[in-house]
Structure 1
Amino acid sequence: MRSSWSLSEQLQTAPNDEIEQVLVEYNGPQVVTLRDSLGVKLGVASDEDESCVRWIQAYITETERKALFDGALTIRDALLKDVVYVVDVSHDGTPLRSWDYDPSRLTDADLPKRGALLPRAVREEFAQAAAEFPELRLDGGGVARTNGVAFRALSSVLDSFQRLWNAIAQSITDEGPKERGRWPAVLANAAELSLGAAGHGSLVMHVSPSDEHVFNEVARKFESLAKAGDDPAKLTSALAKLGPRVQSRYGELLGHLQKQDLQLLTRWPFGSAFVSGDAAARVLSAFPRGQIEKPRTVKVIGTFLAFDSIKLDFEFKDESSEDKYNGQVDPEVLEAHESVAVGRGSRYVVTIEVQSTVTHAGHLHESNTLRSIAPAEATEDGARPSYEPGAP
């Protein structure tokens, strides 16, 4: 056995798991699925000596199993959970001893190679037929597995997924800016996804794209982004082609999946993609960082949520994308405007200078400076709340 193993003296009862499927075999099983009273595990033979074979095992959901067979999830990522199990099994198949193991102690030598999928022949043997229609499948551990997906969790994940979908659609077209800012409603409509039907299984939603061509193009980009995983080089390359807006939205989706302990498998007739809360921290840590772009200027229409002439700060909501801008007010703006109305009754066209920075955690941070204000047409109620200098 390798000397890198860091096993405690506290042994667990040797599991009496039943091998369900042998997925890879070479001088004995190498990758298997096992079933116990709690569910299904993925097991990978990691090390051996003359007395036994040492396995790494982790529970997987039905969605993860589908993603493995689709080639959307690597073997390594399926194993890397909050808790993994190290199990010694004799060469005649008898479980000898097991440990709960901290996954952070696993070395590259212990795990399958980064990016390694199940062999193609195995995937072709066990995979379901390609989805006839686009679908989203949500699954998760803990409460999500036993009690279903809470409405609040479902809402946050689907909303962030749609926002990412819109951002990718924007990045691959000539319709409007590729960063933050107003973009044509026709593109937003074309990228919109709708629930066509609900299917059996974890939580399966059949998706009705508004525009099939836009959907197919975005789906291919999303697939390449998801398959980059936590590989820094591949992820940097994928995000560089799509722009900072996509990076921000992708980070937002990963954050929601991590918070809600959910997995998302998207399937369509020509491919599939898998992202999960289990891998979110690793992917976010691999985001490109320390990159500062040249400032860019955006022009948006919307309303002020706050405007403080004393502190020289503001908050503005873009009525088209619903993006919110927080930042500093250029002093020249105050000189040109004696009053600025805050609230839904007043609409403005504003120019904002945006400076994007990737933080040490891999998130996109944007600092905004308000450079100009011009009134837009009044809203339906025609009200224009008065602005008191210094009021938030």
Structure 2
Amino acid sequence: MFYHTDATIEQLAIHRVGNKQNDEFYVLSESPFVLEDELLATLLMHYFLSPFAKLNEVYRLFHSSETLALNEIYHFCKSFFEGELDFQAFGQQIGKHLFEASNHPNIKGGELYVVQLRDVQLEGEVHDAIGIFKSETKEPFLKVSPAQGMFHLGYEQEAININKLDKGCLIINTESDQGYKVLVVDQTNRQQEAVYWKDDFLGVRVRNDGFNKTGNFLKVYKQFVNEGLDDAFELERTDKIDLLNRSMDYFKEHETFKKQEFEEEVLGNPKAATLFDSYRQQFETDYESPFGEQFDISSGAVKKAQATYKSVLKLDKNFHIYVHGKREYIEKGYDDEKGMNYYKVYFKEEH
């Protein structure tokens, strides 16, 4: 989890970056912004950092060649953190790089904020960090103020809503040899061209730790059960729910995922295990995120995934049956007289 209660802004630089495809330019400030107003500092902290509070995914800076130094953001941040580049020069380099990455005509120009932060907390540890934020969307705001026994009404035609950060990232000064810990926000990533923030500008990929392995594995397994088994097995909906429930039980009851153990306890069928192995390997190849033979199970990722593991039988518009128990306690049949399907459910007590 990310916390910024005790964080402070050490230095702040504001630049303007346009879209080179639209013949716009960048304007780089010549000196940092002097932040003396405490209320303004509080508002900026809210604007910059509050969107990161509920994020779970942690990224790494990387380069496709596997040579980290070729990632521009990594190179600039490492130089700044190690004292080889001063803050103003660092912010200007970030601005120039963002300008070069803004190579799609639909990318909006906007203000770029480069911030040096102290005492941000991520995963229980306190670190310094660099924040890079971009505002692209402007909104009109009304201003009401008292004036000589009445009220004056004014407006700002293009103001920034401090509750709507468009794009941002936090580069935490730790584990530099692995590409740092990076948090990313992209609230306007609705079109294909918007991926430039993560891909072209930052160059990040999800950290393949226990949290992400647990979440990704449960997603892949759920998709496999719902779609990947149909060609090889004739399964009723109750059978699929049972397979999903057994996988969730496994992840709740174990601290470490073990491939062979999971296949025996959950799938319980060599043919199904082989099919799932191929299904899983395709995900590992496509997303460059190997699971390995075992990994630490993240209870947070299990809790998050559980919300999407719907063990519900939806029967016309009359009934929803939530299935949490054993498969053998529910039977499906067909009533010839009524010409309808039915389920028979066994239980000991009614609550």
Q: Same fold (TM over 0.5)?
A: no
Query: Per residue, is there more helix in 1 or in 2?
Result: 2
TM-score norm. by structure 2 comes to 0.30
Query: Per residue, is there more strand in 1 or in 2?
Result: 1
More contact order relative to length (CA 8 Å, sep ≥ 6) = 2
TM-score norm. by structure 1 comes to 0.28
